Structure 1
Amino acid sequence: MISMDESPLPNIIGFLALASYIATLIPTILRIVFPQTKETGIPQWLLKRRRVIGVMAFFLALGHGFLMVQKRNFDFFDIKTFWIYIQGVSTFIIFTLLSITSNNWSVKKLKKNWKQLHKLTYVAMVVLIWHIWDKMSGHWTYLTPISLAAITIITVLFVIRLWIEYQSKQQKNAAKVAKPDLVGKGIR
């Protein structure tokens, strides 16, 4: 029989951080993968609040990390500690960078680099699957399967989104090539 542990506070906060993070990914995925959801207003509502939700995800992740460090009494001068928790540390560093630059001033100063920097969120998405699986294997709580399912589904939907965007780009490029150049023939 499968037994599940009770969710301690750090795991609950980690789950809330994950849910908030997923909420930042949903608007664009819904707009592209499920365009009919535009009519509901949910993607627009989430899009308007994306930065605030992302910063909230950061602070929840900070709380999760703080409580885990406190609970496990980590030795920060031991390289093995960093190797064991590389997924959590990596995700936290990404969330920190995204959180610090989630403001209008950063958008203006970084310009195109801001979008490039915020693409790190997709790296975090994949690392989070690894983090949840690795850290919870052997002592799953009721939140573990929900967390894994949610981040895996959003990752699969992200890949579908990329595929749709790729196909759309290919169709646009094909249409440009197929369109005759009438400017050089005297037709204006």
Structure 2
Amino acid sequence: MTHLIDAANRFARRIPTWTVYLALALPIPWFFYQGLTGSLGREPIRALEHLYGAWALRLLIAGLTITPLRRFFGLYLLRFRRAIGVMTFVYVLAHLLVWAVLDVQTLERVWADILKRPYVTIGMAGFLCLVPLAATSNNWSVRKLGPRWRKLHQLTYVAAVLGAVHYIWLAKGFQLEPVIYAAVILGLLVMRLRLRNARFPQKRRSRLTR
């Protein structure tokens, strides 16, 4: 097992980060082309919304797994986390644009849906959480914000929960796929919380004894 992890880490170090951006970006125009050519079924717009949204959730989950993979298995993928985070935002933006431009189509109806439909409100809130994260996913922002950068990027957890709730609420009746996404996200957040508590036990005890 150790040899496999070491080989995976050596392989990961040789992968340029730009290839991750490219690999994650390629499905976006491909899905759109499938929609145009009728390969997404009778309701291509809804299917396109679903594809972009599902990929956004998958990338959110991928980003959340990076720390547990390093902590429990020694797999170092931290250098790809920014690319995964930025592309998560791109997929969410694509999901939003397909809904607003191709599905709803008018600004008046967009605002009406945001205000009147709870699952749309929650989805929009998740998108707004990702906006500052995407805007600060660069070296200049890391240097400028300092320790505040990490605190700001904890909004990822909020966005993940909101995305899972949005998907469950959007589904008509009980569907297994949204529940699985929500369970995985919840499990990863609990795992990260336990890792954080295990990392700073002395600091917490000193605060309690003050």
> Is structure 2 residue 116 aligned with structure 1 residue 81?
no
Aligned residues: 159
Q: Matched residues in 2 for 1:130 and 1:95: separation?
A: 16
Query: Which of the pair has more CA radius of gyration?
Result: 1
CA RMSD of aligned residues (A): 2.7
Aligned residues of 2:171 and 2:178 also touching (Cα < 8 A): no
Question: Helix, strand or coil: the match of 2:99?
Answer: helix
Q: CA deviation at 1:155?
A: 1.8
Q: Matched residues in 1 for 2:129 and 2:60: separation?
A: 12
Q: Matched residues in 1 for 2:82 and 2:56: separation?
A: 14
Aligned residues of 1:29 and 1:158 also touching (Cα < 8 A): no
Q: TM-score, normalised by structure 2?
A: 0.66
Q: CA deviation at 1:79?
A: 5.3
Question: Helix, strand or coil: the match of 1:8?
Answer: helix
Where relative contact order (Cα < 8 A, 6+ residues apart) is larger, the structure is 1
Give the equivalent residue in structure 2 for 1:64: 95
Aligned residues of 1:58 and 1:99 also touching (Cα < 8 A): yes
Partner of residue 169 from structure 2, selected from 130, 134, 139: 134
Give 5+ residue unaligned stretches, structure 2. Answer: 1-41
Q: TM-score, normalised by structure 1?
A: 0.73
Could you tell which deviates more after superposition, 59-68 or 161-170? 161-170
Aligned residues of 2:142 and 2:149 also touching (Cα < 8 A): yes
**Paired AA for residue 146 in structure 1:** E
Kindly tell me: are residues 64 and 166 of structure 1, through their superposed partners in 2, closer, same or farther at Cα, counting changes over 3 Å? same
Question: Helix, strand or coil: the match of 2:196?
Answer: helix
Q: CA deviation at 1:164?
A: 4.0
Give 5+ residue unaligned stretches, structure 1. Answer: 176-188
> Is structure 2 residue 133 aligned with structure 1 residue 102?
no
Q: Matched residues in 1 for 2:179 and 2:93: separation?
A: 20
Q: CA deviation at 1:174?
A: 6.4
**Paired AA for residue 83 in structure 2:** V
Aligned residues of 1:87 and 1:131 also touching (Cα < 8 A): yes
Give the equivalent residue in structure 2 for 1:16: 55
Partner of residue 121 from structure 1, selected from 156, 173, 188: 156
Q: Matched residues in 2 for 1:150 and 1:78: separation?
A: 26
Partner of residue 149 from structure 1, selected from 176, 180, 185: 180
